[in-house]
Structure 1
């Protein structure tokens, strides 16, 4: 009993998730981003997946099949921005800038989710409801392509601005000219942004 107590205490002190009952010897560590990658995280934007909670500014761990589940099972996350203005609307983007890999991002950006006209009141509770221009596409890094950054950017939507995708943009999710899109609709700098990193679940 003392040994079990010491193990649990060590788990709490190291910030690791407690082992699951069927995997008593495994400890799941959640590693936060550092360096340049951590600088992308600004404004307390929360990205909440089942069982994982807020994955903003962190690596998705391989343990408990989390990488496989985020790629193959779970739907869109809750995205919460407590500072949202209830009287304004927002635009949310989820993109992968590392296609096909971070070392060779020739097809950046890959558009995984694009929602406009999100009421600020909804963002305060994490309920992303608005005009969906691109349905949510799960993060699916190719095998042996290393870690991919999945970046969420939240922009304040200019009043009375109707935001659309061109026919060419609707045809393809890859090689999206995100910067041109932001400039075209006068979205300015994001009010908040965050990212998480994951890779192919069997790598």
Structure 2
């Protein structure tokens, strides 16, 4: 019978012989059936040596691939998103959606380190898309993104660090996720300091009282950090958030 590999096609004698060599080198495999014509002893020795070398190179390449993937952003690499702990997840209320186009929804999650997501959210990506399906079209809203853990959660002496503040957002825009309003603070990317642990980035949505003109004081405009958010909310009678969500991330090299 001719030498027949797995694909069911006959092979010439040299190829068939080298396949036998590889099979012999991997003793846990069964030898392939063969009735190849004999070839000189010297040529058989060379073919066996070549087959063994190729097998060794293949095994070494496979091992190196598993330990050091040259393309860390290969979409085939599995990347797990971990949900927040029960204590932090309680902040997420009202189905407020926070979506980075390059990443997806980040509400109530830790930003994973894989695919350089932590680095990109701190250095590359612009403001997220915000959507609130329950928004009322005839009302306006105030949106803010703050970090209550500046410079760290253990010592938040500069809370609340203001990363984004937008007022006069029409409810129709919130329902569609296309935010338009009066920007009091331009979006500032989350940039946790090195070795400061995880920071919470809290997105808060308030219903804006009718005919209320909201503005920052000159002192508030100068500094983003140590913002007295509670006083701001009380001053403009914003009340409690109608919806809120947050994600946690830390310095991308930690």
Matches within 5 A, 1:34-53: 34-53=85-104
> For 2:218 and 2:83, how far apart are their aligned partners in 1?
38
Consecutive unaligned residues of structure 2, counting only runs of 5 or more, are 1-70
- Could you report, residue by residue, the CA deviation over 1:31-72 in whole angstroms, capped at 9, with x for unpaired residues? 011221000000000000023211000000000000111101
Pairing partner for 1:186 from 211, 215, 237? 237
> For 1:50 and 1:64, how far apart are their aligned partners in 2?
15
Root-mean-square deviation (CA, aligned residues, Å) is 1.4
Aligned counterpart, 1:91 = 142
Consecutive unaligned residues of structure 1, counting only runs of 5 or more, are 1-18
The TM-score with structure 1 as length reference comes to 0.88
Aligned counterpart, 2:227 = 176
Judging changes above 3 Å, is the alpha-carbon distance between structure 1 residues 141 and 171 closer, same or farther for their aligned structure 2 residues?
Answer: same
In our comparison, the structure showing a higher alpha carbon Rg is: 2
> For 2:85 and 2:105, how far apart are their aligned partners in 1?
17
In the TM superposition, what is the alpha-carbon distance from 1:20 to its structure 2 partner? 7.9
- Could you report, residue by residue, the CA deviation over 1:107-159 in whole angstroms, capped at 9, with x for unpaired residues? 10000000000000000111111000000000000110000000000000000
Aligned counterpart, 1:59 = 110
> For 1:200 and 1:135, how far apart are their aligned partners in 2?
22
> For 1:76 and 1:28, how far apart are their aligned partners in 2?
22
Judging changes above 3 Å, is the alpha-carbon distance between structure 1 residues 118 and 144 closer, same or farther for their aligned structure 2 residues?
Answer: same
Pairing partner for 1:116 from 157, 164, 167? 167
Q: Is the 8 A contact 2:141 2:168 kept in 1?
A: yes
Aligned counterpart, 1:5 = none
Where in structure 1 do 4 or more consecutive aligned residues deviate above 3 Å? 19-24
SS state of the match for residue 130, structure 2? Answer: strand
Count of paired positions: 184
Judging changes above 3 Å, is the alpha-carbon distance between structure 1 residues 75 and 21 closer, same or farther for their aligned structure 2 residues?
Answer: closer
Higher percent of residues as helix = 2
- Could you report, residue by residue, the CA deviation over 1:160-196 in whole angstroms, capped at 9, with x for unpaired residues? 0000000000000000000000000000000000000
1:80 aligns with 2:131: yes
Aligned counterpart, 1:130 = 181
Higher relative contact order (CA 8 A, sep 6+): 1
Q: Is the 8 A contact 2:161 2:226 kept in 1?
A: yes
SS state of the match for residue 74, structure 1? Answer: coil
Judging changes above 3 Å, is the alpha-carbon distance between structure 1 residues 87 and 102 closer, same or farther for their aligned structure 2 residues?
Answer: same
Higher percent of residues as strand = 1
> For 1:106 and 1:22, how far apart are their aligned partners in 2?
40
> For 1:142 and 1:49, how far apart are their aligned partners in 2?
21
- Could you report, residue by residue, the CA deviation over 1:70-126 in whole angstroms, capped at 9, with x for unpaired residues? 101100000000000000000000000000000000110000000000000000111
SS state of the match for residue 201, structure 2? Answer: strand
1:154 aligns with 2:154: no
> For 1:153 and 1:114, how far apart are their aligned partners in 2?
10
In the TM superposition, what is the alpha-carbon distance from 1:23 to its structure 2 partner? 6.5
